[in-house]
Amino acid sequence: MHKVAIPAALLCALALAGCHAQPAPPHRESPASQPAQTAAPSRAPASAETASPVPSAPPRPSGPITFTDVTAQAGIHFRHNNGAFGKKLLPETMGSGVCVIDYDNDGWPDLLFVNSADWPDHHTKRTTPALYHNNHDGTFTDVTKQAGLDVEMYGMGCAVGDYDNDGNDDIYITALGGSHLFRNLGNGRFSDVTARAGVADSGFPASAVWFDYDHDGRLDLFVAHYVEWSESGDQFCALDGTHKSYCTPERYKGESARLYRNLGNGRFEDVTKKAGLYDPSSKSLGIALVDLDNDGWLSLFVSNDTQANKLWKNNRNGTFTDEGFAAGVAYNDAGKARAGMGTDAGDYDGSGRQSIAIGNFTNEGLALYQNQGGDLFTDQGVAAGLTEPSERVLTFGLFFFDYDLDGLPDLFAANGHVADDVSVLQPSLHYAEPPLLFRNRGSGKFEDVSGKVGAAMRTAMVARGAAYLDYDSDGDLDIAINVNNGPARLLRNDNGNRNSMLRMKLVGTKSNRDAIGARVTVIAASGSKQMQMVKTGSSYLSQSEFPLTFGLGKPEPAKTVSVEIAWPSGRTESLARVAADQFITVEEGKGIISAQPIDLSPKFER
Ligand SMILES: [Ca+2]
Ligand SMILES: [Ca+2]
Ligand SMILES: [Ca+2]
Ligand SMILES: [Ca+2]
């Protein structure tokens, strides 16, 4: 793994040529005169100069890519409890999320599953969120109790961010009637600092994001809210006209999102109104951070359920303005609001701009708002081949990730209806639905490959939150899913790493330490570019891992790429000729501070 400390100077020699921060010394600008140097792993294909292969190196995977359900063998036994006892209360069908956090900084991603709970007047069992520590051998250990996270709450979503910049990632969990901020103490334990921080929130929160909206280097907190709801005010609706069903939100009033500004002393200030974000008409579920004009200032895309989506543009003065309608992301092409749930922003078309994908209701299909530049988006869902295959499902968790590492971001959708009785009147629809995996074919088209990547991707479940991570540290991205009132899933990506990749963790110094908002552009020898931004939130109630994974396509001897980083502070950094198949850590202003070859062997498969 990538935790071994190597002197920075040595790394510069090993990992790349031209290791430096901007502004670059002039003599570094002509790397063509220098031989390409790499820290390629010993098992990488032998270069012309070193023709003898290393005998002990296992062959690079070459088979078809499949996803395998490894939940049980990984020791994950988390089961979500929605507390349902027959009254069909709205929140029961909405949760919950899953977040990836490396809480102990050992370089291996750990998993946090959010849980709901029994209702107070029908309390039969105690359920809490669960933190699973990654044991580095393909298994996890439930460390919830010793971590101090065994707190009962009606949890919805989670967001991971180092709000106090101490190097330990902290956790915010949104929960009905009162959310929680858990500060990471750095010794495996968390402390509930909600009251002191002033971020208890109230009402019906959903997804949340950490981001530094005012560029002071401290992460602020934005919390989406769904609807105004109470148990006594739960509305009656019935699909068959008689028996109560879980309803869509039309009969409820919306609830405003909240923005909490980080004051830097462990406290936060509710600046929702001051920032122009107060909006009680919204019924928000998902949030995607978007850097609209690549200027380092983060705007908020908020997906709303049966209400216009919002695009809160950051005015760079502490305020936001909704440009959703003008930008073309508020409604569908017919001018109708859809049931926006999970959402993600990503550069799927190699334009260097972030486009927006949204999960919607059955018969609506996925939306793909392609960023045309100039704050204008057009829905390419149908043209891209995403909408039609997704019309039969209801999508919650949703994210771009390059599962086959070919350099083209693909799209994963976790599905499950909201009405557990939906098939009574509509036999073609089901509460539990299989996920969808779309492979990016380039040229703006996606192919539904869900049926071709193993049984796990064809298994129906009432999926809600979903996130990606490389839990087995083999360079390809695996998937964690939280299932409403059911068992969580961990799907291992097998053979995704038959292609090359570059993984990187960014550490901010002047910028927030998690480097949330940093934009990384990887440029291949062919000149093709891909851009990713370090982010929180996205998907539904969930958060994927912080490290970025860039697919580099077919392995070649001594393959290198160049990397450009735009830090939130405004600093830019260039790394020339970085070798493929490495995990690098880049610190703001210092370049690469550690580099480790990725072990591509299928080490935990038996
Ligand atoms: Ca911290
Ligand atoms: Ca801030
Ligand atoms: Ca791909
Ligand atoms: Ca993996």
pLDDT at 59: 72
How far away, in angstroms, is 490 Cα from ligand 4 center? 11
H-run or E-run covering 194? helix 194-197
How far away, in angstroms, is 265 Cα from ligand 1 center? 12
How far away, in angstroms, is 410 Cα from ligand 3 center? 5
How far away, in angstroms, is 324 Cα from ligand 4 center? 36
Task: State how far Cα 41 lies from the chain centre.
Answer: 28
How far away, in angstroms, is 441 Cα from ligand 3 center? 8
H-run or E-run covering 12? helix 8-15
> Is the CB of residue 417 less than 8 Å from the CB of residue 394?
yes
- Please provide the DSSP assignment of 238-264 as one string: -TTSSS--PPPGGGS-B---EEEEE-S
CA dihedral 181, 285, 419, 468 (to 10 degrees): -70
How far away, in angstroms, is 274 Cα from ligand 2 center? 14
pLDDT at 60: 86
How far away, in angstroms, is 165 Cα from ligand 2 center? 11
The ligand placed nearest to the CA atom of residue 190 is 1
Count other Cβ atoms within 10 Å, centred on residue 241.
7
pLDDT at 424: 87
The ligand placed nearest to the CA atom of residue 220 is 2
Rounded-to-integer distance, Cα 99 and Cα 214, Å: 25
Q: What is the pTM of this model?
A: 0.91
How far away, in angstroms, is 399 Cα from ligand 4 center? 16
Rounded-to-integer distance, Cα 337 and Cα 329, Å: 10
Rounded-to-integer distance, Cα 454 and Cα 319, Å: 47
How far away, in angstroms, is 197 Cα from ligand 1 center? 13
How far away, in angstroms, is 536 Cα from ligand 2 center? 14
CA dihedral 38, 42, 44, 48 (to 10 degrees): 70
Q: Tokens 């078809």 map to which residue?
A: 64
Tell me which residues of the chain have a pLDDT lower than 70: 1-58, 605-606
Q: Report residue 125 as tokens.
A: 């069992």
Task: State how far Cα 410 lies from the chain centre.
Answer: 13
The ligand placed nearest to the CA atom of residue 219 is 2
**Using the 8-state DSSP alphabet, how is residue 416 labeled?**
B
> Order of strands across the sheet with 560-566?
19-21, 572-579, 560-566, 519-523, 529-533
Rounded-to-integer distance, Cα 170 and Cα 176, Å: 20
Nearest in space to 400 (alpha carbons), one of 585, 223, 219, 548: 548
Residue 562 phi, psi dihedral angles, 5° rounding: -110, 155
pLDDT at 50: 34
Rounded-to-integer distance, Cα 414 and Cα 244, Å: 26
The ligand placed nearest to the CA atom of residue 163 is 1
Q: Report residue 46 as tokens.
A: 């032998």
Q: Report residue 272 as tokens.
A: 């929702």
* SS3 (DSSP) at 141: strand
> Is the CB of residue 224 less than 8 Å from the CB of residue 302?
yes
H-run or E-run covering 325? helix 324-327
pLDDT at 57: 52
How far away, in angstroms, is 286 Cα from ligand 4 center? 26
Nearest in space to 219 (alpha carbons), one of 513, 539, 569: 513
